[in-house]
Amino acid sequence: MQKYFLILVAALCSFRLLAQNPGGKDSLLLALRTTKVDSIKVKLLLQLGKQFGNKNYDSFYYYLQQADLLSKKIKFAAQDFYIYAGYSEYYYYKGDYKRSVVYALKGKEFATAQNDMKLLAKSYNNLAAVYNRFGNHQSAIDCILKCLDISEKTKDSASFPVRNLTASVTYYNLQQFDKAIFYAKKAYGFGKLFNNDFAVAMGLNNLSASYAQLHMLDSAIIIGKQQLALARQQEDLININYALINLCHNSFKAGNKPALEAYTKELTSYSKNMPDSQVAAELHTAAALNFMSLQKYQLAKAQLDSGMNIAKRHNNTDALENLYQALSIFYFLQGNIKEGSNYSYKHDSIIQAANLQKLNFYTEELETKYETEKKDSQIQLQQAQLRQKSTLNYFLITGTAAVLLISLLGYRNYKHRQKLQQAKIDELETEKLLTATAAVLKGEEQERSRLAKDLHDGLGGMLSGVKHSLSSMKENLIMTPDNAQAFERSIDMLNSSISEMRRVAHNMMPEMLVKYGLDTALKEFCTEITRSGATKANYQSIDIDKESIEQTISVTIYRIAQELVNNAIKHGKASEVLVQLHLHRQEKLLALTVEDDGIGFDVNLLNKANGIGWKNIQSRVDFLKGKLDIQSVPGNGTSVMIEITR
C-alpha cells in the first residue's frame, strides 16, 4: 500500500500562553532581561522556545529547560501543563517514544488534578498525536474519541477543526477510510467556519489520501486539485509539495501522462527550497513514475537510486516503502520478474517491521499505564484524606445553600413549565410545516406521474398513430418531388416531436427510478447528462447497491440531485460534475454529495437569492429532516453535501 502524505497532526498544545510578540526573538529577549517578575519570565522562556520550534530543537529544549527550572524554583505550577507538553513535543520530533508518552501522560495527570476539562481534552489530543506518530493506533483512537467527547461537552468549538483532523488521521492509520473521510470533512467544515486555514488545507489533504486508498481516483484527484489551489493561494510551500506528490501518484495510477508530467515538472521547481528528507526522497519517486510512464527507464532508475540514497541516509522508512514499491513496478514493467519480486519482498518486509514495532509500543504502553495507575491510586488516597478533613465545612455550606435552593426552586419550576409549553408549541408548528411540505411534495410527484402517463400513453399514442397514417398515405399518393421532400420533412419533424415528448415524460417520472431504485436512476441520469454533451457527469456509490430505500425518499433525493446538477451546468458553467451517494451503515447515515469544477460563487449570497431552485432544494432537505452543507469559493467550484439520518 502506497504511503500517501497524510499530516500526522501533532497539535501538541505547548504554548497557547501569550499573544505572539510582534518583535519576535529580539523583543522577547529584551523583555526577559528587563522584567523582574519570575512568573512572567517562565512564560517568556516558553515563548522563546516556541520561536525556534522545529527549526532548532536544541535551542527549543534549552529555553524549555530554563523555564522548567525557574518554575520549580519559585514553585510556580500554573505553567506545568505547557512545560510537560513542550517536553513531549521535543521527544516526539526526536523519535523518543517512551519519553514523549511519559510527558504527555504527566500533562494528563496535571489536567485531571486541576479538574480542568479543556486542558484534559488537550491532553488526550496530545496523547493521540504521540500514539499516531509512533504507530500505537489502538491507544490513539481511544484518546481522540475521549478528546472529542470532552470538547463537545465543554463546547470548545475553536478546537473542533484540529481535533477532527486528528481523528481523521487516526482512522486513516487504522485503514478505516470511510470514517477518515467523515472526520476529514468535519475538519474541513469547521476549518472554514473558524477561519482555520491549516485545518481546511489538511482536511482536503486527508480526504484526497483516503479516497485514493478506496481506489476512488476521480474524487482523490478533484480534491487534490482543490488542495493544490488553496496551498498556492496561501503560499504554503510544504502543503504544495504534499499535494503535488499525491497528485503524481494518483495520475500515474489513472494513466494520465500529461497531468503526471505537468505535476512532476512543477514539483521539481520547488525541490531546491525543501530540506525535509522525506519530501526530498519522494520528489525522486514522483520523477521516476513520470519517466516510467514515458518508458524512459534509465532516467527512472537514476531517480530511484537518488531517492534510495536520501531515504537510507535519513533512515526514512515511509519513503523507503514507497521507493521499494516503485522499484518493484519498475522491474515488472520491463519483464524482470525476479528483481520485481525481490523489491516487492523488501516492501512487505518494511510493513512487517512496522507491525512488530507496534507490538513493542503496546508492551511499553502497558508498563507505563501500570506505573501511572499506581500514582493515580496515591493521588486518590490523598484526596480522600482531604475530603475527610473538609466534611464539617461541607455540612455548613450545604445548610446555607439549602435555604437558598428552596427559595429558588419555585421560580425555577415556573420558568421550566413555561419553556416546556413553548417547546411543545414550536414542535407542533414544525410538525405542521413538515406535514404541509410532505403533502405538497407528494402532490407534486403524483401530478408529475399523471402528466408523464398522459403524455406517454395519450399524446404519444396519438402522435404515433398520425405518423403511421401519414406513412400509409405516402404509398398511395402521387406527389411532385418538392411535395415529396416537404412530406419527408414533416415525417422527420413528427419523429422529433415523439422523441421530445418521451424525453419530457421520462424526466417527469423516470422509469428507472420506479423499476430499479435510486442507485440505478442516478447512474442513468449522469450517463444521459454526459451523453447530451452538456457536461461530463461522473457517478459513484458506496455501500448502496444492495440497500432498499423507501420510494418517497428516493424520489426526493433524485429531484435534489437533478436540481444540483442543473445548477452546476446552468449557473456554475462546470465542465465536470461528480455525484456521489454514500451509505454509512454504522452511523445509519445516507449522504449525497454533488461537486463541480465550475466558477463557484459566494455562499453568503444564497441568503439574498430570490430564485426557487435553492428554496426547492432546502424544502426537500427539510422534508427529509436532513442537513445541508454548501462549500464554494469563486473560481474554485462548488461542493454540496446532504446528510440524511435513516
In sequence order, what are the residues at sequence separation of 6 or more whose Cβ sits closer than 8 angstroms to the Cβ of residue 471? 491
Q: Are residues 450 and 352 in the same domain?
A: no
Please tell me which of 218-227, 378-387, 454-463 the model is most confident about, judged by mean pLDDT: 218-227
Q: What is the rounded average pLDDT of the residues 299-318?
A: 85
- Residue 467 counted as domain residue: yes
For every residue of 500-540, DSSP letters joined together read HHHHHHHHHS-HHHHHH-HHHHHHHHHHHHHHHTS-EEEEE
DSSP 8-state secondary structure symbol assigned to residue 18? S
**Is 77 among the domain residues?**
no
Same domain, 523 and 627: yes
What CATH number is given to the structural domain containing 627?
3.30.565.10
| Chain segment 5-47, per-residue pLDDT in tens | 554 333 444 333 333 444 577 888 888 888 888 888 888 888 8
Residues 498 and 578 in one domain: no
Domain presence at residue 229 = no
Query: Are 404 and 494 in the same domain?
Result: yes
Q: Is residue 377 part of a domain?
A: no
Do 451 and 492 have their domain in common?
Answer: yes
For 582, the 3-state DSSP assignment is strand
Q: Are 402 and 496 in the same domain?
A: yes
What is the tens place of the pLDDT at every residue in 128-169? 988 887 778 888 899 999 999 998 898 888 888 988 998 998
In a domain, 59, yes or no: no
Kindly state whether residue 338 falls inside one of the protein's structural domains. Answer: yes
Digit-coded pLDDT (tens) for 501-558: 655 555 555 777 777 888 888 888 899 889 988 899 999 988 887 777 888 888 888 8
Query: What residue numbers bound the domain in which 528 lies?
Result: 511-645
HSE (CB half, 13 Å, CA atoms) of 211?
A: 25
Domain end, chosen from 508, 543, 575, is at: 508
Output the furthest CA–CA distance in the chain (Å, rounded): 119
Domain tally, the chain: 3
Question: Would you say residue 345 lies in a domain?
Answer: yes
Q: What is the pLDDT of residue 616?
A: 81
Final residue of a structural domain among 340, 372, 404: 372
Per-residue confidence (pLDDT) for residue 98, from 0 to 100: 84
- Per-residue confidence (pLDDT) for residue 22, from 0 to 100: 44
Q: Is the pLDDT of residue 469 over 90?
A: no
Residue among 460, 463, 468, 459 at smallest CA distance from 494: 463
Q: Is residue 515 part of a domain?
A: yes
- Position with higher pLDDT, 49 vs 522: 522
CA atoms of 78 and 39, how far apart (whole Å): 9
**504 and 524 assigned to the same domain:** no
Q: What is the mean pLDDT of the chain?
A: 79
- The residue from 508, 534, 566 where one domain ends is 508
Mean pLDDT comparison of 156-170, 360-374, 444-458, highest-scoring range: 156-170
Asked if 146 and 124 count as a contact pair (C-beta separation under 8 A), the reply is yes
Q: What is the mean pLDDT of residues 451-458?
A: 52
pLDDT computed for residue 432 by the predictor: 55
Q: Degrees (nearest 5) of the Cα angle 582, 588, 591?
A: 30
Here the CATH number for the domain that contains residue 303 is 1.25.40.10
Grid cell of 59 as nine digits: 535551542
pLDDT digits (tens, 9 = 90+) for 81-104: 989 988 988 888 777 878 888 999
If asked whether residues 528 and 608 sit together in one domain, one would say yes
538 lies in the same domain as 630: yes
3-state SS of the chain: helix, strand, coil percent to 5? 75, 5, 15
Tell whether 552 and 495 lie within a shared domain: no
527 lies in the same domain as 561: yes
597 and 585 in a common domain:
yes
Residue type, 229: A
pLDDT of residue 38: 85
Confidence (pLDDT) at 481: 74
Which tens digits make up the pLDDT trace of 420-435?
Answer: 777 665 665 556 555 5
* C-beta neighbour count of 268 within 10 angstroms: 15
- Cα angle 6, 238, 163 (rounded to 5 degrees) comes to 45
